[in-house]
Amino acid sequence: MSKRKALPGEVRQRSEAGEAIRQKIKAVATEMFIVRGYNGVTFLDIAKTLGINHSLVHYHFGTKAKLSEEVLVEFVENGLREIRALWCSADKSLFQKFVEARDRLYRQFFRYHTDGQPEHSTGLVSRFAMEFESIDPKLREIVKDTHERIDNCVRQAVLIAIERGELTEDTPVQLLALQISSILFVAGPTARYGWDFSRLDDHFRGAFAMITLAYGAGKREVEPWPKVKRPRSKRTATEPPEPVAA
């Protein structure tokens, strides 16, 4: 007896179901990579969390290297869209950009740190960067490229601040961009290794104050620094984290 050929509607349903499983696997993998790191996650771990057979994870992604690459690329692209929208905006002051960047990082910090206690990294790129020598070469390339793209966004923010008359024309653009980018890059380790978020908050506040006092146009007065606002609730374990590229 010949096997019945699947109808178009059935094929579409199977395709949609398969894509739904892929998205769930990626969401859980992103969460677990951030918490445990690249070397601390297996397909079996992911399958147990989702309540599926680990062969299904193999079926959709083949290897952990392929899964992590797809997860990281998607995470980075989502994060960079938000970073470009923030740092490359001509409508926001440099002060606003500092505060909003700080607030985005705090939301991620709150997501992964129970009762404000440092437990995990705050982003996928920074987590993989901690394991730079042991991760797949393609992942290392993505991490390096992401840092360069963030550098370019921050450099654009400094140029915009000069054009807006917030900073003097002789402002050393590349040096300031490097200083600001460095805060973004160390956000994960700063939040992870024994400090609460106040230390990272001080990085942002101190850097902006020094930039204003050294290169601010006009009176060079530092604006009052707003406190971070505690998010209302945390996401569930299977929800994708907010994309913070760094």
pLDDT by residue (tens digit) across 188-213?
A: 667 666 556 788 889 999 999 999 99
Structure tokens at 80: 């960079």
Instruction: Parse the chain into domains and list their residue ranges.
Output: 72-215
Regarding predicted confidence, which is higher, 156 or 110? Answer: 156
- In order of 8, 11, 16, the CA distances from 5 in angstroms are 9, 10, 18
Residue 237 has pLDDT above 50, yes or no: no
pLDDT at 126: 84
Task: Report pLDDT digits (tens) over 22-55.
Answer: 999 999 999 899 888 899 999 999 999 999 999 9
Nearest residue to 187 via CA among 233, 120, 239, 238: 120
Nearest residue to 176 via CA among 188, 189, 159, 164: 159
Residue 79 has pLDDT above 70, yes or no: yes
117-120, long-range: CB within 8 Å, 24+ apart, which pairs?
Answer: 117/196, 118/191, 118/192, 118/193, 118/194, 118/195, 118/196, 119/192, 120/34, 120/35, 120/192
Helix (H) or strand (E) holding 208: helix 197-215
Structure tokens at 188: 């994960």
* pLDDT, averaged across the chain: 84
| Residue 117: band (very low, low, confident or very high) from pLDDT cuts 50, 70, 90 | very low
CA distance 236 to 229: 20
> Residues of the chain with pLDDT > 70: what percent?
80
Contact 246, 123 (CB under 8 A): yes
Contact 201, 207 (CB under 8 A): no
pLDDT at 194: 52
| Residue 87: band (very low, low, confident or very high) from pLDDT cuts 50, 70, 90 | very high
Regarding predicted confidence, which is higher, 206 or 231? Answer: 206
Regarding predicted confidence, which is higher, 200 or 244? Answer: 200
User: Domain 72-215 sits in which CATH superfamily?
Assistant: Tetracycline Repressor, domain 2 (1.10.357.10)
